[in-house]
Amino acid sequence: MNESQAIEALAALSHETRLRIVRHLVTRAEAGDSAGAIGEVVDAAPSKITFHVSALERAGLVSSERVSRQIVYRINFEQMGRVLNYVLTDCCANNATVMTCCGIKS
Amino acid sequence: MNESQAIEALAALSHETRLRIVRHLVTRAEAGDSAGAIGEVVDAAPSKITFHVSALERAGLVSSERVSRQIVYRINFEQMGRVLNYVLTDCCANNATVMTCCGIKS
DNA sequence: ATGATATTACAAGTATTGTTGAAATATGAA
DNA sequence: TTCATATTTCAACAATACTTGTAATATCAT
């Protein structure tokens, strides 16, 4: 993960609706969820879901797969971890205080 | 840390100049650095530094202290850790894959 | 007080991002 | 093919964020 990828991911995460989408998709894990179902959970119109979920997908935080009439979105756990690792390592130089406050032991 | 604080912090981190400022202040640690010195390192005009460093300060990621004619800025390591912890815990439910990709053992 | 230095505040303009509703596309069922 | 459902695309608009240069403020030294 390079700087511009990290910036895109951080920007994608810095929005209430998108954070709600992420949280919901995390609970769905491998099952994922359709745009329509996501829209009901986060209470947003279809075009809004497309807009925000596209931002998450561009950032690599979410993947999509068409399943018949629906498009199923899934969270990309690896990418979420990479973003956190980028901030921790490339920005904070694995600072001990940051790691402790982040809840990391070693 | 609540959701809106996390969103503000993530937004603050999702900008090239601000990320450069953070990286620089991390290397300076407790010593911190003045606005002018930061401006030279990240190659930005004074008003630009004020604008971006203010965003970081509003997000609690940086603190400031006047020392004679200069204002010294310091990174807030605790807050950096809290943001990462928020994403890891409140958004990713401490998912094992996320933790592994983030470089966390336990 | 005056002048020099460091920083911030402001205003104007530009750019980017987000919202909304309507039209277009894709898929499956009758 | 025709209809219904699911999603995307688009255009117009609103709201934020960023940049730039200039003026204002704060501090220190003379």
CATH number for the domain harbouring residue A73: 1.10.10.10
| pLDDT at position B106 | 63
Which positions in strand C are less than 7 Å from the protein's CB atoms?
5-11, 17-22, 26-28
Reply yes or no on whether the pLDDT at A106 is more than 70: no
Instruction: Give the model confidence (pLDDT) of A54-77 as tens digits.
Output: 999 999 999 999 999 999 999 999
Instruction: Give the model confidence (pLDDT) of B55-101 as tens digits.
Output: 999 999 999 999 999 999 999 999 999 999 999 999 999 999 999 99
Question: Are A106 and B101 an interchain contact pair (Cβ–Cβ within 8 Å)?
Answer: no
Domain that holds residue B64: 3-77
Instruction: Give the model confidence (pLDDT) of B21-38 as tens digits.
Output: 999 999 999 999 999 999
Contact between the CB of A34 and strand C at under 7 Å: no
Q: Which residues of B touch A (CB under 8 A)?
A: 3-4, 6-8, 10-11, 13-16, 19, 22-23, 26-27, 77-85, 87-93, 95, 97-106
Confidence of residue B20 (pLDDT cuts 50, 70, 90): very high
Which residues have a Cβ under 8 Å from the Cβ of B69 and sit 6 or more positions away?
A: none
DSSP B2-70: -HHHHHHHHHHHSSHHHHHHHHHHHHHGGG-EEHHHHHHHHT--HHHHHHHHHHHHHTTSEEEEEETTE
Within a domain: B101: no
Strand D-contacting residues in A 42-61, CB cut-off 7 angstroms: 46-47, 49-51, 53-54
Q: Domain tally for chain B?
A: 1
Between CA B11 and C1' D16 the distance (Å) reads 12
Reply yes or no on whether the pLDDT at B102 is more than 80: yes
* Spatial distance between the Cα atoms of A105 and B42, rounded to a whole number of angstroms: 33
Reply yes or no on whether the pLDDT at B9 is more than 70: yes
Between CA B46 and C1' C8 the distance (Å) reads 9
